[in-house]
Amino acid sequence: MHLIALAASVLGIEVDELLEHLKKNAMAWSALALFALIALVFGLVALNAWFTLVWGPIVAPLLIAAGALLIALGIYAAIAIADSIARRQATQRRNAAEKTALVTTAALTALPLVLKSDLMKKVGIPIGGALAAAYLLAKPGSSHGHSNGHDPD
């Protein structure tokens, strides 16, 4: 909770103010939820009465139950798919982090051995320095030796 409050304050949101606002309106939101639930129940009662007239007293509640079950299964499928995607992305991030750690560890382990070799001292380090210098000189925006800061064009 402390981290959320810190992040919110960075974004300019006062958490205390937000919580006070939510507490102040809690009764209004509760009343809204209660009346929405009442409307849903009476809508289902009216649907049941209509289905009873059309299909009979046994089939009507079964149709409503089947509809509710289909909605619940749809919500469950959506949650399962979202959870599966989130798990797969987390696994991919974890694998990428492990791969990076493995390569870094291997490079750090091999570096002292490579630097001790005579071939690296005589050839590798000068070539690496030349490549680094060429890269820095070829970078866009570099002055290429002009000290006045103006292009000669």
What's residue 123's pLDDT? 73
For residue 18, CA distances in Å to 6, 15, 112, 151 come to 14, 5, 56, 55
Q: What is the pLDDT along the chain (153 residues), one digit of tens a residue?
A: 565 655 666 555 677 777 788 788 888 889 999 999 999 999 999 999 999 999 999 999 999 999 999 999 999 999 999 999 999 999 999 998 888 888 888 777 877 777 777 777 677 778 878 888 888 888 776 555 555 555 554
Q: Is 138 exposed, middle or buried (0-12, 13-18, 19+ CB in 10 A)?
A: exposed
Contacts of 14 (CB under 8 A, 6+ apart): 8
What 3-state DSSP class applies to 85? helix
